[in-house]
Structure 1
Amino acid sequence: MDGLVLDWFRAHARDLPWRRPGTTPWGVLVSEFMLQQTPVARVEPIWLDWMTRWPTPSAFAAASRADVLRAWGKLGYPRRALRLHAAAAVIATEHGDAVPSDVDALEALPGVGSYTARAVLAFGYGRRAPVVDTNVRRVVARAVHGAGDAGPARTRADLADVDALLPDDDATAAVVSAGLMELGAVVCTARAPRCGDCPVIAVCAWQAAGRPAYDGPRKPAQGFAGTDRQVRGRLLDVLRAATDPVERAALDAAWSDAAQRDRCLHSLLVDGLAEQHDDGRFALPA
């Protein structure tokens, strides 16, 4: 199966900027933070801008949190930006401004978990590492186990499943890891898989079983309209657009439900995404 994925990826991989030759492990780490729950099309222009402005961890660590949050724009889940900022500071001060190249050191960085650590190893350093995201889990569930979807995450078992698919050679394994992710993202999709375009259809256990429907537990779909996420985003929009601290009235105008607005403003303050000055005005963190 790995050879089929390898050949297909080399012929059909999307031209994404963080995959291009010359991308540093730092560039890969930034892309992985940005791509969490965010579509590629939204990430690409912001990633390109960040690589120009902050080509190294130390350059990024020297930026203010306010500049970081403004540059994050509408990517969503802005706490990711602050975690990346904190990780950059650790890389700059404790790792000689070089992103670590082993799993333990990577997982010790703020905001870096099992997936991100292995993605940096594979895509930043060209190492053999089982990279497991939702797309990869779906490909493995179907092609290897004959199930319609993967169900709840099983970290050890998922890593073992993917590890078993990787060739021994570091460089080839890294490309196969990227290919498995790509296959799940553009062909073996959750709702409308394009099986006729799949390079592993001949060895796919799900196809052989007649493509049985998935009947296990599902993660509930997350809405957006009217949620606290939307309100927090509206409040942050006000702060990002202001060059100076704003009065409370400017935030009040951003959302009509006072109780929800107050709750969300409080959560932004607790999360370090906003701060209140002594005069009562609000701003992005310094």
Structure 2
Amino acid sequence: MSDILPAVGLIGWFDVHERELPWREPGVTAWQILMSEIMLQQTPVVRVRPIWEEWVRRWPVPSAMAAESTGEVLRAWGKLGYPRRAMRLHECSRVLAERFDDVVPSDVETLLTLPGIGEYTARAVACFAYGQRVPVVDINVRRVIARAVHGRAEAGSPGRSDLRDAEALLPTDPVRACRYSAALMELGALVCTARSPRCADCPVSGTCGWQRRGRPAHDGPARKVQKFAGTDRQVRGLLMDVLRGSDDPVDRSRLDQVWTTDTVQRDRALGSLLMDGLVEQTRDGRFCLAGEAG
């Protein structure tokens, strides 16, 4: 497969087109890269950058974050979405401070034992923070491989074959392998995009299986479009906005005001926040972020 996505051409393209992202700068620590990878899950770079930069200044090492309350970390997370990521990262900071002396482990197996760290994040940290030759597979990499290697418009459901395919493409030299992994991700993010791929600008268009087949349309199940307006996710976000904006617990009446369209949905959203541990209820019946009930 390496002749389909040749390292020389792809890395050469990356050398020219690599975005200047703060977590790629020299001197960035494994902890700071870990924070960026958690934030970037399902969230655009433009929204992540200012929050990440603030967190690096505020919590440069895990123990600094571990000393904060969960509620304060959730407050600092702002509107990045999926706030359970912030809660799990806070749990991870405590484990790193207590068990690893503020050092993020370098091997995938140990990283996978940390709270909130899955296959992708563990491999991304091992690769981008420690220079290890391990496959790093996100949705962009899966799409590039599906098109260039397998000639399909879309990647389909994730599976273990994704890691095997990605590993088979890696150069043997760890330094080049890490660079290659980053280039694959960048190609999917900037050129081989989901909706409007820029095949004329692609450095591997001449060997791309999808291009050679005439760019056939996806013949599998239609991709589900995740809507936001009117969903429980939106209601949860509105409720969290109220709690993040208050230093003190708030009355139920303030929460009721944020969503009057469907009171059953609002109650369900609040109940799910309580169940997830993102929100707590005080003894007098008010509501606050996790760890701030007193």
| Shared fold per TM-score greater than 0.5 | yes
Q: In structure 2, what is the equivalent of residue 238 of structure 1? A: 242
After TM superposition, give the deviation of residue 105 of structure 1 in Å. 0.5
- Among 257, 270, 276, the alignment partner of 1:265 is 270
Q: Which residue of 1 aligns with 2:53?
A: 48
Residue-pair matches, total: 285
Aligned mate of 1:281, from 276, 281, 286: 286
Q: TM-score, normalised by structure 1?
A: 0.98
Identity over aligned residues, as a percent? 62
Aligned partner letter, 2:27: G
Q: Write the distance in 1 (CA, Å) between the matches of 2:105 and 2:222.
A: 35
Q: CA deviation at 1:218?
A: 3.8
Aligned positions of 1:165-176 closer than 5 A: 165-176=169-180
Aligned to 1:140: 145
Q: Cα deviations across residues 99-142 of structure 1 (Å, max 9, x unaligned)? A: 11011111111111111100001111121110001100010011
Aligned match of 1:220: 224
Q: 2:65 aligns with which of 60, 64, 67?
A: 60
* 1:145 positional shift: 1.1
Letter in 2 for 1:199: P
1:85 to 79, 82, 90: 90
Amino acid at match of 2:90: H
Return the TM-score normalized by structure 2.
0.95
Code of the aligned partner of 2:244: R
Amino acid corresponding to residue 193 of structure 1 in structure 2: P
- For structure 2, the 5+ residue unaligned runs are 1-5
* Residue 27 (str. 1) matches residue 32 (str. 2): yes
Deviations 1:59-93, CA, capped at 9 Å, x for gaps: 11111111101100000000000011111111111
Measure, in 2, the Cα distance between the counterparts of 1:242 and 1:83: 22
Alignment of structure 1 residues 99-248 onto 2, 5 Å:
99-154=104-159, 156-248=160-252
Where 1:28 maps in the other structure, the secondary structure is helix
Give the conservation status (yes or no) of the 8 Å contact 1:130–1:162: yes
Query: 1:146 Cα deviation (Å)?
Result: 1.1
Q: Where does structure 1 differ by over 4 angstroms across 4 or more consecutive aligned residues?
A: none
Conserved 8 A contact 1:123-1:174: yes
* Mapped partners of 2:91, 2:190: distance in 1: 33
1:152–1:217 Cα contact (<8 Å) kept: no
Distance across 2 between alignment mates of 1:219 and 1:125: 35
Which structure 1 residue ranges, 5 or more long, are not aligned? none
Aligned residues: CA RMSD: 0.9
